[in-house]
Amino acid sequence: MKVLVAVKRVIDYNVKPRIKMDGSGVDLANVKMSMNPFDEIAVEEAIRLREKGAATEIVAVSVGPAKAQETLRTALAMGADRAIHVVCEESVEPLAVAKLLKAIAEEEQPGLFILGKQAIDDDSNQVGQMLGALLGWPQGTFASKVEIAGDTVNVTREVDGGLETVALTGPAIVTTDLRLNEPRYASLPNIMKAKSKPMAQKTAADYGVDISPRIETLRVVEPAKRSAGIKVGSVDELVAKLKSMGVVA
């Protein structure tokens, strides 16, 4: 079974984002970038499926600027067999990404498409669901466990108050949650091998997809700073303070 894995280049999760002075977006100048953490989990899960004999080939896919090649090389170093890079220097909205991934899926004919449940830069949590709708494939979102049984993909997913297990008939789409696995570090020999693994360069025009933006960002602002706490001397004073603030009646 061929497995496609979508990866995205985002600001490293250890970096605190800065807002541009004009409020037009996040400042990406001289900022450390890395693979989206949820996508790292997706790559790791694909590798584990191959190690179990359920997958035969892993193809990493990314939509983004030229520097997204670094992210794809990371996926190749982790264990992906080859990569497809759709070069888009401008920002691409989730729907356009889903349309591009749909075109790639129709060309590659995978048995499974694994994506991170969301990207930590925009937190949209939309691409996996949109891709499932466009392809008409069954999907298991927020997966905390994935098992392959013949042509069936059993996905244990996190829901409010517990876990739900769904059986998907392939080809299927799975989006990964944090508790699915812990991604491995790429070893130095594998990093060197990744440099020689094939990476196809494509454009949105190659797939006939219009990536024109449909959403306009009006302004980006930082969250309000947390106010200092207040010490009270007794429970009665605490209740009175909460009432004055409208927290309790």
Q: Exposed, middle or buried by CB within 10 Å (0-12, 13-18, 19+), for 222?
A: exposed
Question: What is the pLDDT at residue 30?
Answer: 84
Does 205 map to a domain? yes
Q: Where are the beta strands (DSSP E) in the chain?
A: 2-6, 9-11, 18-19, 26-27, 33-35, 57-64, 82-87, 112-116, 139-149, 152-159, 162-169, 172-176, 199-203
pLDDT 10s digits, 11-35: 988 888 888 888 888 888 888 999 9
Mean pLDDT of 166-176: 93
Amino acid at 176: T
Does 249 map to a domain? no
The secondary structure of residue 237, as a DSSP letter, is: H
Stated as kind and residue range, the H or E segment containing 190 is helix 188-194
Tally of structural domains, the chain: 1
Does 113 map to a domain? yes
Mean pLDDT of 157-176: 90
- Identify the band that residue 99 occupies on the pLDDT scale cut at 50, 70 and 90: very high
Q: Which residue has the tokens 């969301």?
A: 118
pLDDT 10s digits, 44-59: 999 999 999 999 999 9
Q: Residue 198 above 90 pLDDT?
A: yes
Q: What is the CATH number of the domain that holds 199?
A: 3.40.50.620
- Range of lowest pLDDT (49-58, 124-133, 234-243): 234-243
Question: What is the pLDDT at residue 26?
Answer: 85
Does 114 map to a domain? yes
Contact at 8 Å (CB) between 36 and 119?
yes
Q: How far apart are CA 127 and CA 91, in angstroms?
A: 14
Mean pLDDT of 90-98: 92
Q: How far apart are CA 247 and CA 171, in angstroms?
A: 50
Label the pairing between strands 152-159 and 139-149.
antiparallel
Amino acid at 146: V
The distance between the two most distant Cα atoms of the chain, rounded to a whole number of Å, is: 70
Does 37 map to a domain? yes
Question: What is the pLDDT at residue 249?
Answer: 65
- Identify the band that residue 241 occupies on the pLDDT scale cut at 50, 70 and 90: confident
Does 87 map to a domain? yes
Question: What is the pLDDT at residue 116?
Answer: 94
Domain that includes residue 75, residue range: 2-244
